[in-house]
Structure 1
Amino acid sequence: MRRRSALIGSQNLNLRPNIGTVLLQHLAALQRAATVERYVIHDRMNPFRSYNNEEFVARYRVTKECVTELLETIRHSLAIVHNRGSPSPPHLQLTIALRYMTTGNFQPSMANCSGVPQSSVSTCVSTIAARLAELAPRHIRFPEPNNEKTIMSQFSVIAGMTGW
């Protein structure tokens, strides 16, 4: 009996896992569980290269030249937007915001179309809107009261709408 119990006891000792091994396994499991999937914004589609002039105007309602000029004007005030370490380049911020503004889509659907998270769409739209508001006084001028009638008649010829 003694021999048999000694054999069983030694087998039990061999079956016990090392506490260090168990801790390492638990740590590895925790690291796997804590890993967060991150969006990585690749410059996989540059709208300036991907679309011809007609397609670009159809999507963004302005020409490539206009967007390029606007981008050069506001580029210095556009920080690279980070979404947990994934940067959005300035041209992508501008085209996302323009597309959102021209279509009136909801931000989640814009996120799906552009391949960025909804939070990045929100950040791009608010940043670009603020930059455009800063530029407005330089580019939007109301007519002087003595020129209103002339300008309204010119506008009605161009747009087919009367202003009075």
Structure 2
Amino acid sequence: MTDKDFAPASTTNLDRYGSPELPWSRPRDVLVEDTPGVDLTFFLATVRPDGRPHSAGVGAVWLDGALYFTSGPGTRKSRNLAANPACSVSVRLRGIDLVLEGTAHRVTDVSTLERAAAVYRSGGWPASAADGGLTASYSAPSAGPAPWHLYRLTLDTAVGVATAEPYGATRWDFRR
């Protein structure tokens, strides 16, 4: 399946000023073009076991129609995802602010790890697949030691608010 084959099941126009709904292709194409080469900051929101929220920056890339991100196995975000995989990821893209909601699942198959590592390397992070995760000579100071877990976000919904013309706001529902 290619990115262009992956389409939302439904869309809802959230714009209150008369702008038409935005096509999913708008944020998807920016994710394809700009990850990992453009300096984007992705924020992962998870839920602690006691119900309190947690948010942290993650290194993320768009690959094969999905968002992938890394996290050290001992970090709060990885521990939260182990207990509850529901999460959201927010990012400001060229011309559109985007929130992706769904469930994150750890990826351990070597083929996907190697493809993700290649995408990360193309953006300047010298990642490689090893020990059921990704490894490199460095990562975020708070990531802990390698290997780092790779997660795939399975989308339920996404919300985009355009910050450049054509303006608008749309929710895309991917649940089938």
TM-score, normalised via structure 1 length: 0.28
Higher relative contact order (CA 8 A, sep 6+): 2
Q: For the pair shown, which has the larger CA radius of gyration, 1 or 2?
A: 1
- Structure with greater proportional helix content: 1
- Structure with greater proportional strand content: 2
